[in-house]
Amino acid sequence: MSTAAVLGVDSSTQSCKVEVRELSTGRLLGRGSAPHPPAFPPCSEQQPREWVSAFVAAARAAMADCEQQLDVRAISVAAQCHGLVLLDERGEVLRAAKLWNDTTGSPNLARLVDRIGARRWVMRIGSLPTAAFTIAKLAWIAEHEPGLLDRVATLLLPHDYLTYWLTGERVTDRSDASGTGYFDAVAGQWITSYLDLAAGDRDWAGKLPNVLGPADAAGTVRPAPAAELGLGADVLVAAGGGDQHAAYLGLGLTDGDQYFSIGTSGVVATSSRGPVFDTTGAVDGVADMTGGYLPLMSTLNAARVSDRAAVLLGTDLGGLAELALAAGPTQGPVLVPFFDGERTPDRPDARGGLLDITSQTTREELARAFVEGPLLSLLSGRDSLRACGVELGGAATAVGGGARSRATLQLLADLLDDEVTLPDVDEATARGACIQAAAVAARTDRAGLIDLAKRWLPDARERVAPRAHGRDLAALRTRWASVAQAPILDNAGAR
């Protein structure tokens, strides 16, 4: 007898991960993954066909990992936000997709901010776009590859493209659309006039995907993709969403909870029922996957900082964590981790800074600075959220590859002076996609989606309390903030 199941997909910058969960209970049945080609700023690009290949490999591995015979009822795809996929009138990809961490469009974005006006842009879409946003990438194409635009029939985001490959439907959702720079999530409308400013007057409305609701179905899997994936007929496909938005849904978090994601990028977020507008540009007031909003601050440099630190200190990630936890009650040194430029603050040409080194500085203190630097960036973002009036009184939850480090969890608890929970979830984004897929399979509505997320609430794998560390953390944060603002970090000519 077959088991009714759903597939949740997380197509991130680095890989595609797929989970198979039982439709009735949310029980994990199997998982699989496959890598994506590496991509790094400033010109960070990937071929969408590579996403499809990784998706097929990961899905087949996940289903092979299941002991039961499966009856897959629905799929949802969550993916890296902001990327730009251009299709011609036949639905063929015209060029490699520019990814969220591609910073080549920074000058184009700056000119757009001057033309539209920073405050006006924020008050229209809830965010002040940076080079990460889709509109910056389109503006770059218009300047450097203008002839290509004559052949463009459709503009999609990464998760939209995989949904399109599955169904043939050109659709998106509020969460991912709200990170383009040209979607008003409150009104539920594309802003084609902004696309005119970015890339010239065209029939943009005819090139944009339909925006679906949280529990809407995009369609069913077409026969050819179904055969590649090893699926049966009539498998529903959900609207999908952005990766961080799906992770928040997958963890069953609610308004006011503190969400820290430490992966390729770093994110601090919470959810709210009403929109948030930050005219300083630090907070993105994007939509979530349940019909509300997910105000967040995102950084470019997170887990990769520890990867680089391990190399520089001649150890591995486990050794780095041991060194960092063994550091004494000293204040410094202080690391500002703008290694590959930074998204928030919007400084694409910035470089990292390591200060307050003395002749007494130890390897342990250096290791702590490298682990602590990205966390201090996220705490700065939490300050920005609070300055917008966002409630952040709930529990702190940490996810992502970087959160698997004991040092990261402990130092985050120390900096917050509060307990941090590591949920018993290996892939929060894929889990959230499974929840949306299950809601679509059950043909429920937005309220049913939220109830389902609560029923599938994960247990805590670990809870980490703050230590009695003897450090003046207020002074440390003040010092970090002063260094992070230093103009000397902006050096476009640095290697």
Instruction: Inform me whether the pLDDT recorded for 10 exceeds 60.
Output: yes
Strands 293-299 and 284-287, sheet pairing: antiparallel
Q: At what angle do helices 317-325 and 303-312 cross, to 10 degrees?
A: 90
* Tally of CA atoms within 13 A in the half-sphere of 104 that contains its CB: 20
Instruction: Inform me whether the pLDDT recorded for 195 exceeds 70.
Output: yes
Provide the 3-class DSSP secondary structure of residue 391: coil
pLDDT of residue 369: 98
Residue type, 443: R
Q: 85 near 30, Cβ under 8 Å?
A: no
Rg of the chain taking only CA atoms, in angstroms: 22
Q: 51 near 161, Cβ under 8 Å?
A: yes
Q: 49 near 466, Cβ under 8 Å?
A: no
Alpha-carbon dihedral 432, 433, 435, 441, rounded to 10 degrees: 170
Distance CA 156, CA 148 (A): 15
Q: 324 near 368, Cβ under 8 Å?
A: yes
Instruction: Report H helices in 31-93.
Output: 48-64
Distance CA 50, CA 273 (A): 37
Instruction: Inform me whether the pLDDT recorded for 236 exceeds 60.
Output: yes
Distance CA 416, CA 495 (A): 34
The mean pLDDT of the chain is 95
Residues 421-430: tens digit of each pLDDT: 999 998 999 9
Provide the 3-class DSSP secondary structure of residue 464: strand
pLDDT of residue 343: 86
Which homologous superfamily is 252-424+465-495 in? ATPase, nucleotide binding domain (3.30.420.40)
Phi-psi region of 189 (alpha: psi -120 to 50; beta: other; left: phi over 0): beta
* Tally of CA atoms within 13 A in the half-sphere of 459 that contains its CB: 3
Is 243 designated active site?
A: yes
Same fold, 3-245 and 252-424+465-495: yes
Instruction: Inform me whether the pLDDT recorded for 495 exceeds 70.
Output: no
Residue the block writes with tokens 């800074």: 353
pLDDT of residue 114: 97
pLDDT of residue 484: 93
Instruction: Inform me whether the pLDDT recorded for 348 exceeds 90.
Output: no
Instruction: Inform me whether the pLDDT recorded for 144 exceeds 70.
Output: yes
Strands 3-11 and 70-79, sheet pairing: parallel
Q: Which CATH number fits domain 3-245: 3.40.50.970, 3.40.1010.10, 3.30.420.40, 3.40.630.30?
A: 3.30.420.40
Residue the block writes with tokens 């659709």: 171
End-to-end Cα spacing for the chain = 59
Residues 316-346: tens digit of each pLDDT: 999 999 999 999 999 989 999 999 889 888 8
Burial class (CB in 10 A: 0-12, 13-18, 19+), 349: middle
Which of 112, 111, 95 lies closest to 43 in space, CA to CA? 95
Average pLDDT for 385-391: 95
User: Active-site residue among 173, 176, 243, 340?
Assistant: 243
Q: 237 near 220, Cβ under 8 Å?
A: yes
Burial class (CB in 10 A: 0-12, 13-18, 19+), 353: middle
Instruction: Inform me whether the pLDDT recorded for 262 exceeds 70.
Output: yes
pLDDT of residue 247: 93
| Boundaries of every domain in the chain | 3-245, 252-424+465-495
pLDDT of residue 400: 87
